[in-house]
A and B are shown apart, each in its own frame.
Chain A
Amino acid sequence: MRWDFASVFDNTDALLVGAAGTLRIFAICLVLGLSLGLIVGLGRYSRNRWLHIPATIFVEFFRNTPVLVQILWFYFALPILLPFQISPLAAASLGISLNSAAFSAEIYRGGIQSIETGQWDGARALGMRWGQAMRRIILPQALKRMLPALTNRAIEIFKMSTLASAVAYVELLQQGKLIASLNYNPIEAYTAVAVIFFVFLWPLVQFSYFLERRLRRDE
């Protein structure tokens, strides 16, 4: 057995296109997933049942169905039910974002609940509205506690982006498959894909450590 990465390097362009695709879907799902997660998390935190119950249904539904099934469903089933086509990017983004929203919602809820009621008292005693207290007092403190868990979510989203290859969205794994099938070099192709993922994710994790340290400057 001989390792020959030449066939991979010959396809650098394809991998670059794949990397761009991965970064694009990662950025979309990170923003959509974590911001929708905050909204759902606030719903889960709310004592108003008209907010709490729908948020709970959302979380339970998307936590307990596989992302891959959701992506396939959005891509193949939804266009049968609705009169429009859906792109591979849109289908995959929907599946990954909704799943991430469900998981991050629980992180937000837990983070917000972990803040002492005295902080609410302090904020309300100054005359703050609920939203002001949440934005200025509660969320900044909660965010600090949630950061490790949210970083895990971000890493998870990055890796879940490979599921988009199931609907032929052009991302790293999809391009790896392509290279492997054209050159009959699965060992090198998939090793290269794995290494590229590591090269992207490792700095991301280091950045989150830096953020954690920065947020701890008030201690």
Chain B
Amino acid sequence: MTILKVTGLTKRFGNTDVLRGIDLEVARGERIAILGASGSGKSTLLRCLNFMERPGGGTIALDGQVLGREGRAGERSYPESELIQVRQRVGMVFQQFNLFPHMTAIGNVMEGLRTVRGMPKPEAEARAAKELARVGLAEKADTYPAHLSGGQKQRVAIARALAMDPEMLLFDEPTSALDPELVGEVLAVILALAEEGRTMLLVTHELGFAYHVATRVIFLADGAIHEQGPPDEVLKNPKKDRTRAFLASHKQFSF
């Protein structure tokens, strides 16, 4: 059952074509790891899916419904009200966490429920406490982000996204800003979500994690899908040279 269908997605920044026609179909429950060198367009692809960046061309359909309206010149426009609906259904976790520093951990998790959903405070608080407990941070509810470690911040950010009941989760290099000893706790939370059968797209440099967690691996190069398939194929027996070179450079110093 397809939840997301991307057709011919393009994006330009200035004179640079960052995405050159991405076609991607995501089924419910799929976990897709997106790999690629820096500048390959993987973060931009992810950010287009919940419209943090406006797509240049092509279409994105959620649950079979094509988003935006077609203008006269063939370009698509995206009314804010529609994007707001989409973003509530597609949660996002950022490399830099982007927690709200003026709110406590539980305040961060409640914020979407209160401001966007208009949920009454006691209800939102209960829900937020549940999500914090899920990521193992129940006792940090009243702590401000400045007093949390990077790993804890990212777990709060995951709880914040989960509180909105998203149908799909986007992870944009969730562990890249973390000290190595903190990566494990965040990956463990993501793994637990994977085991619940959640649909997720994950841009990552953690090849081992991608191998264990993903149902499909996409290798992006120059803004296009260069190779994709099950992790066993793409990560162990890549067919294309560039994929092979990329994986080799990542495994250069492994033992």
A residues whose Cβ falls under 8 Å from a Cβ of B:
118-119, 121-130, 132, 136-137, 140-141, 144, 217-219
Interface of A is mostly: helix
Cβ-defined contact, B111 with A136, below 8 A: yes
Residues on the B chain within 8 Å of A217, using CB: 144
Q: Quick one: given A122-B98, A126-B87, A141-B101, are A219 and B115 in contact (CB under 8 Å)? A: no
Cβ-defined contact, A219 with B52, below 8 A: no
Cβ-defined contact, B146 with A126, below 8 A: no
Q: 8 Å CB contacts to A: which residues of B10-49?
A: none
Cβ-defined contact, A125 with B102, below 8 A: no
Residues on the B chain within 8 Å of A132, using CB: 115-116
Cβ-defined contact, B92 with A125, below 8 A: yes
A sample of 6 inter-chain contacts (CB < 8 A) reads A119-B98, A121-B52, A128-B116, A136-B111, A141-B101, A218-B103
Cβ-defined contact, B100 with A137, below 8 A: yes
Residues on the B chain within 8 Å of A118, using CB: 94, 96, 98
Residues on the B chain within 8 Å of A140, using CB: 102
Whether a CB of chain A sits under 8 angstroms from the CB of B68 is no
Whether a CB of chain A sits under 8 angstroms from the CB of B85 is yes
Which of A122, A127, A219 is the one whose CB lies under 8 Å from B100?
A: A122
Interface flags, B103-126, vs A, CB<8A=1, else 0: 100000001100110000000000
Residues on the B chain within 8 Å of A128, using CB: 84, 112, 115-116
Residues on the A chain within 8 Å of B98, using CB: 118-119, 121-122, 125
A-B pairs with beta carbons under 8 A, tally: 68
How far is it, in angstroms, between the C-alpha of A218 and the C-alpha of B147 when the chains are bound?
9
Residues on the A chain within 8 Å of B157, using CB: 122
Cβ-defined contact, A125 with B52, below 8 A: yes
Cβ-defined contact, B102 with A126, below 8 A: no
Which of A124, A126, A137 is the one whose CB lies under 8 Å from B164?
A: A126
Residues on the A chain within 8 Å of B103, using CB: 218
Q: Quick one: given A118-B98, A218-B146, are A124 and B116 in contact (CB under 8 Å)? A: no
Q: Which 5 A-B pairs have the closest CB atoms?
A: A122-B98, A126-B112, A127-B88, A118-B98, A125-B92
Cβ-defined contact, A127 with B87, below 8 A: yes
Taking the closest CB of chain A, its distance from the CB of B131, in whole angstroms, is 13
How far is it, in angstroms, between the C-alpha of A124 and the C-alpha of B115 when the chains are bound?
12
Cβ-defined contact, A126 with B160, below 8 A: yes
Interface flags, B48-87, vs A, CB<8A=1, else 0: 0010100000000000000000000000000010001101
How far is it, in angstroms, between the C-alpha of A140 and the C-alpha of B103 when the chains are bound?
10
Whether a CB of chain A sits under 8 angstroms from the CB of B91 is yes
Which of A125, A137, A144, A218 is the one whose CB lies under 8 Å from B50?
A: A125
Residues on the A chain within 8 Å of B144, using CB: 217-219
Nearest-CB residue, chain A, relative to B145: A218
Cβ-defined contact, A130 with B96, below 8 A: no
Whether a CB of chain A sits under 8 angstroms from the CB of B99 is yes
Whether a CB of chain A sits under 8 angstroms from the CB of B161 is yes
Nearest-CB residue, chain A, relative to B107: A218
Cβ-defined contact, B80 with A129, below 8 A: yes
Known: A125-B98, A125-B161, A128-B115. 5 other contacts (CB 8 A): A119-B98, A126-B87, A126-B115, A128-B84, A219-B146
Taking the closest CB of chain B, its distance from the CB of A145, in whole angstroms, is 11
Which of B52, B85, B91, B115 is the one whose CB lies under 8 Å from A136?
A: B115
Nearest-CB residue, chain B, relative to A217: B144
Taking the closest CB of chain A, its distance from the CB of B3, in whole angstroms, is 18
How far is it, in angstroms, between the C-alpha of A208 and the C-alpha of B255 when the chains are bound?
59
How far is it, in angstroms, between the C-alpha of A136 and the C-alpha of B80 when the chains are bound?
18
How far is it, in angstroms, between the C-alpha of A144 and the C-alpha of B139 when the chains are bound?
27
Q: Quick one: given A118-B94, A132-B115, A144-B102, are A124 and B146 in contact (CB under 8 Å)? A: no
Residues on the A chain within 8 Å of B85, using CB: 127
Cβ-defined contact, A126 with B101, below 8 A: no
How far is it, in angstroms, between the C-alpha of A122 and the C-alpha of B87 when the chains are bound?
11
How far is it, in angstroms, between the C-alpha of A6 and the C-alpha of B50 when the chains are bound?
74
Residues on the B chain within 8 Å of A136, using CB: 111, 115
Residues on the B chain within 8 Å of A141, using CB: 100-102
Taking the closest CB of chain B, its distance from the CB of A150, in whole angstroms, is 17
How far is it, in angstroms, between the C-alpha of A140 and the C-alpha of B85 when the chains are bound?
25
How far is it, in angstroms, between the C-alpha of A121 and the C-alpha of B98 when the chains are bound?
7
Which of B91, B96, B145, B146 is the one whose CB lies under 8 Å from A125?
A: B91
